[in-house]
Structure 1
Amino acid sequence: MDASNDVDTTYFGRLRPGDKLSKPSWLMRRVSSPAGTVDELLGLDGLWRPSDMLARTERGELPGTLRPVGALLPGALQATAQKRYREVCRALERQRAGAFPLRLAMPGRAQNYDDLDAEARAEVIGFLTGAPLVTTGPAGTYRTDGMWVWPESIEDDVRATGAPPEDLFYYHIRARRFFFPEPVNPDVLERARRLLEIAAASGGTERVEETGVPGQPGPLTEEERQRALGAWHAEWERKHSATTPFRPDRHPDEPDYNVHHVDAEASPEADWEYTRRAREIMGLDPETGARTDI
């Protein structure tokens, strides 16, 4: 419990089966002050908001194990949540603009994920039924988040069985933390409709997906990425060479220090500049290094 200016804050983790206290499914806090007591929940965006989850869990109305959490862990969990949320927002903006090839989700249940509890089921159903509408008609209702296109009927299977959708699609939903862009650009919807026409013509027995974004250069090959990475490294070294300390006396056993002293002595700010751009070249999120193309 932290006490500051007559305010006491106690943190709790609500754990699903298999959760660790260091990574709870929900992080909550109870803030007590002379003005009263407020219960709050840490959202997926890393912000604290009033919530009745803590009280409901204490009353046994919600499942899961409630465990107290020390004062240091919540700050780290909040920072991680905020970093992940920024990563998701960057990916969603690219999805909104149509920067990713579209792929059609296949009906069927996940093979590598356990069945969903009631809350996870509601999160998945909310994603499946809330994303931008592509088309609706006799063939069914289809939606897209700018990367995947799916029949809304998948929601019926999730609701009835509690099983997640197919592995790749469910991985994507979890990676986006159940967020989707609203709306997506009109050309993304048109591309999704064309994809559905191709799927209908093929009989729907195989996954249909775009090979690339129409009108845009294809993704870099591994060889092209390595060349671009090498060019960026050379540019970065030239940029920071004059302002990076030259200390050969500290590296007597490194014969190539004179050539690559910037790598050894660069400031944290310069290192971070290099890392961010290098991740972008490799197709990764610049802040977290995560893949966002799946």
Structure 2
Amino acid sequence: MSTPAGDGAVYFGRLRAGDAISDPSWVLRRTSTGDEILGRDGRWRRSDMLARAERGELPGTLEPLGPVLPGVLVTLVQRRFHAAWRTIERQQAGEFTLRLAVPGTGSAYERLDDEARAETARFLRRAPLVASGEQGNVRTDGMWVWPETIAQQVLETGEPPEDEFFYHIRARAFLFPGEVAPSVIERARALLAMAAAPDGRVREANVPGREPPPTREERQRALSAWHAEWTAKHAPSTPFRPENHPGDPDYAANYVDVEASPEAEREYTARAREIMGLDPETGERTDL
């Protein structure tokens, strides 16, 4: 079986329902010293998951990975983890509007197996506590606020929470801050006291003391301003090669976009993503 050059390990992807080989639920490897699992944080740890999957004790299938894919998947997991924690740190500080999740299920995700139920319930039951009363606990991760009873619903039925909320949980790799700012807890309690909107959605209009999030039109204007600033900054150091583009009448006006160095392109892309409300490294949305 092929393995990454010089690695000496045999790699497997563990695929559950809906997984693709290019994005398995878990990446596993067998080394000369034992079996390991690639954690959500991109670090390898000892685990018996591979042996249990081989014995048929876990849902899903095992697929061997070729010599290239394991390295790609490790990088992908690490990038997702760092992106999740960048956003979680902002949630912890109270930089996002809060929204209330309500009991009920969505339609975008398949029924959860026992493993996914446990992982989802752990998130729902261990995030910072907002309030506790006759109706049970209410928790928050600094972006969503939810009744802990949703965890029991997940465990008993296997149905995931509503679509947007479950998308958020998955996008954060089932991670949450150990604590949030006291002001976030106060805001979450105020959210619970709000009258429900006609569609059942309760959500802050904006973070208290701050302007509402920019509209798409405002983001587009900011993006245009950033492009102009970036172009002026890099024009003196960017080569002008009109001879290589004889049929392009717009080359003179846009040559910085065409000829910019990889470093300059990365600078532009990272800031452009931030302006549009995306993670600067991955380009994924941070406000969901």
| Band the TM-score falls in, shorter-chain normalisation | over 0.9
Q: Aligned Cα RMSD in Å?
A: 1.7
Distance 2:199 2:219 in 1: 34
| 1:42-53 mapped onto 2 (5 Å cutoff) | 42-53=38-49
Take 2:210 and 2:149, find their aligned partners in 1: how far apart are those partners? 32
Q: What is the match of residue 21 of structure 1?
A: 21
Structure 2 Cα separation of the partners of residues 42 and 134 of structure 1: 32
Of residues 174, 177, 181, the one that matches 1:178 is 174
Partner of 1:150: 146
Distance 2:37 2:270 in 1: 31
Q: Which runs of 5+ in 1 are unaligned?
A: none
Tell me, what secondary structure is at the counterpart of 1:121?
helix
Give the distance between the partners of 1:253 and 1:205, measured in 2 at CA.
Answer: 55
Q: 2:69 aligns to what?
A: 73
1:66 alignment partner, SS class:
strand
Judging changes above 3 Å, is the alpha-carbon distance between structure 1 residues 70 and 138 closer, same or farther for their aligned structure 2 residues? same
- Aligned residue type for 1:146: G
Find runs of 4+ consecutive structure 1 residues off by over 6 angstroms.
none
User: Which residue among 122, 128, 131 is the counterpart of 2:124?
Assistant: 128
Which residue is equivalent to 2:30? 30
How far the C-alpha of 1:135 sits from its partner, in A, is 0.7
Residue of structure 2 equivalent to 1:277 = 271
Deviation at 1:204, TM superposition (A): 9.3
Provide the residue aligned with 1:255 in structure 2: 249
2:105 to 109, 113, 121: 109
Deviations along 1:151-194, one digit per CA (max 9) or x if unpaired, are 01111111111111111111111111111111111100000001
Paired amino acid for 2:61: T
Three-state SS of the structure 2 residue aligned to 1:49 is strand
Q: Normalization by structure 2: what TM-score?
A: 0.95
Cα deviation, residue 222, structure 1: 1.8
1:124 aligned partner, one-letter code: T
| Distance in 2 separating the partners of 1:263 and 1:205 | 45
Under a length normalisation based on structure 1, what TM-score does the superposition of the two structures give? Answer: 0.93
Which segments of 5 or more consecutive residues in structure 2 lack a partner in the other structure?
none
**Residue 4 of structure 1, CA deviation:** 7.0
Aligned in 2, Cα 1:221/1:9: closer, same or farther, shift over 3 Å? same
Task: Using the TM superposition, give the Cα deviation of residue 75 of structure 1 relative to its aligned residue in structure 2, in angstroms.
Answer: 0.2
Helix, strand or coil for the counterpart of 1:39?
strand
Which residue identity is paired with 1:95?
Answer: Q
Counterpart of 2:156?
160
Specify the alignment match of 2:11 in structure 1: 11
Question: In percent, how many aligned pairs have the same letter?
Answer: 61
SS of residue matched to 1:258: helix
Instruction: Tell me whether 257-266 or 95-104 shows the greater mean CA deviation.
Output: 257-266
SS of alignment partner, residue 13 of structure 1: strand
CA deviation digits over 1:120-162, x for unaligned, max 9?
0001000000000001012321000000000011111111111
Note the C-alpha offset of 1:218. Answer: 1.1
For 1:116 and 1:219, locate their aligned partners in 2 and report how far apart those are by CA, in whole Å: 34
Deviation, 1:3, is: 7.9
The one-character-per-residue Cα deviations of 1:243-285 (angstroms, maximum 9, x if unpaired) are: 1111111111122222221111100110110011011111111
SS in structure 2 opposite 1:8?
coil
Measured in 1, the distance between the counterparts of 2:139 and 2:246 equals: 62
Q: Would you say 1:88 and 2:84 are equivalent positions?
A: yes
Instruction: Tell me the alpha carbon deviations over residues 221-254 of structure 1, each in whole angstroms, 9 at most, x when there is no partner.
Output: 2221111111111111111111111111111112
How far apart are 1:205 and its partner, in Å? 7.2
Mean Cα deviation higher: 231-240 or 252-261: 252-261
Contact 2:274 2:280 in 1 (8 A): yes
- Contact 2:101/2:145, CA 8 A, preserved across alignment: yes
Distance 2:213 2:55 in 1: 53
Kept in 1, the 8 Å contact 2:35–2:48? The answer is yes
Q: Secondary structure at the match of 1:12?
A: strand
Distance in structure 2 (CA, Å) of the matches to 1:56 and 1:157? 27
Contact 2:36-2:46 at 8 Å conserved across structures: yes
- The equivalent residue for 1:228 is 222
